[in-house]
Amino acid sequence: MKITFPLLSLFFILSCGKNAETIITVKNSLSTYRQFETVTINLEELKLSGGNESIFIEDIETGQQLISQIVDENDDGKFDVLLFQPEMPANSERKFYIRTGKISQESDSIAACYSRFVPERTDDYAWENNRVAFRTYGPRAQEMIESNIKGGTLSSGIDAWLKRVEYPIINKWYKKETSSTGSYHEDTGEGLDNFHVGMSRGVGGIAKKADSTYYISKNFTTWKTLFNGPIRTSFILEYASWDASGKKISEKKKISLDYGSNLSKFEITIKGTDTISAGLTLHEQDGEIAINKDYGWVSYWEPHGDSQLGTGIVVPNNAMVGYEHYVTNIQDASNLFAHISIEDSMITYYAGFGWKKSGQFQNKTKWNDYLQHFSEGLKNPLLVRVQYRSLKTLNESIKKN
């Protein structure tokens, strides 16, 4: 599938160096075609020289130029990681070389992977890519509920915005809602927000079970956007410490969303417990659950408005230690939970959705297949090797092959 990316200032090249001594080899060890999987390389490994120059990735055999993104992954004020997404046929190997060039002129286009704080709609934080969009809620929305002010929201659950176009919609939807020129609760061809969260976990919010009760945090208290771009958006949300039947839990989320993925990545620092649970709301409890403990995923496929919706959680590294189909009479408290073990105060999981009306997934089988393939990709990541050869040696090697 051909993808058109928006122009972004950091990632397009005006001119490139003529030497290509750094070679990246990517190998797909699975017997399945893979795309939209992000290769991550530390810039230190590339041993590049140059000041205000940007990195240019080119397929050695075809000369195809790949979209790339340079990010400050550890938030220390310095670019440290290179991201790109090669298309990988089954059981294949592809080689790329790195060049550097001057940064092109800036563009005002919105990044394909985009997130921001939304003060004009109380204080949401929203994020999206070309397939899905999400939001969650801040301290002002909590304060309004606690002060009986209309329009607030008390929830640390994750809301799903059901988009069915590839271009960005966050700014457009908020603008029509806040300017009273329309509503994002109505579908005029781009999708809508008709996903109810309430006190539920929505799509991937966390909870701690003590005895027979699940305890949850309130709204996020602080936020920080790390970066946006053509490959990934990333940000941090912090929460006030919360009580789980006498246990004091602290929670700090780093959330990322990559191009082409239906699942956001959650990297959460948690203290005060050895396990935590990530949940999917069950809404009217009229959907179907699916579990694959060996591959670490849970799924819920349900009727939703005039369509159907799948939600899911994938837990890598064999960290899913159980699950619970938790049903209660308490409003919005019924969830499908994946129980996750905490190691060194950290957990990682992926959570997201697929909306049938978007055309992405036509039934629960297709949705569950997606979660399975996603998990298989995590268990068998693309193999990456960085080598250093002169362009002359490289060309001679290509001719021999």
pLDDT tens, residue by residue, 286-323:
999 999 999 999 999 999 999 999 999 999 999 999 99
Contact in structure between 264 and 113 (CB atoms under 8 Å): no
109-129 average pLDDT score: 95
Bridge partners of residue 135, in order along the sequence: 126, 159
Is residue 331 within 8 Å of 198, Cβ to Cβ?
Answer: yes
Q: Any idea which of 6-10, 32-36, 124-128 has the lowest mean pLDDT?
A: 6-10
Tell whether the model's pLDDT for residue 259 goes beyond 80. Answer: yes
Q: What pLDDT was estimated at residue 29?
A: 97
Predicted pLDDT at 50: 54
The whole-angstrom separation of Cα 58 and Cα 193 is 39
The predicted pLDDT at position 16 comes to 37
The rounded distance, in Å, linking the Cα atoms of 28 and 86 is 10
Per-residue pLDDT tens digits for 314-366: 999 999 999 999 999 999 999 999 999 999 999 999 999 999 999 999 999 99
pLDDT (tens digit per residue) in 130-178: 999 999 999 999 999 999 999 999 999 999 999 999 999 999 999 999 9
What per-residue confidence (pLDDT) applies to 105? Answer: 43
Determine the Cα–Cα distance for residues 221 and 318; give it in Å rounded to an integer.
31
Residue 7 has pLDDT above 50, yes or no: no
Whole-prediction pTM: 0.91
CA distance 192 to 181: 15
Phi, psi of 111 (to 5 degrees): -65, 150
Report the candidate in 229, 11, 12, 9 with the shortest Cα–Cα distance to residue 107.
Answer: 9
User: In which band, very low, low, confident or very high, does the pLDDT at 22 lie, cut at 50, 70 and 90?
Assistant: confident
- The answer, yes or no, to whether residue 400 has pLDDT greater than 90, is no
More confident call, 21 vs 241 = 241
Does the pLDDT of residue 397 top 90, yes or no?
Answer: no
- Cα–Cα distances in angstroms (integers) from residue 54 to residues 13, 35, 113, 230, 325, in the given order: 7, 24, 19, 14, 49
What pLDDT is recorded for position 6? 34
Q: Is the pLDDT of residue 2 over 50?
A: no
Confidence label for 187 from pLDDT (cuts 50, 70 and 90): very high
* Residue 42 Cα distances to 48, 127, 384, angstroms: 11, 25, 11
How high is the pLDDT of residue 109? 64
For residue 219, the 8-state DSSP code is S
Residues with Cβ within 8 Å of residue 97, at least 6 apart in sequence = 20, 22, 23, 24, 57, 58, 60, 391, 394
**Which range, of 107-116, 320-329, 381-390, averages the lowest pLDDT?**
107-116
The arithmetic mean of pLDDT across residues 248-265, rounded, is 98
Domains of the chain in sequence order = 22-107+381-400 (2.60.40.1180), 114-362 (2.70.98)
pLDDT 10s digits, 31-59? 999 999 999 999 988 877 655 467 889 99
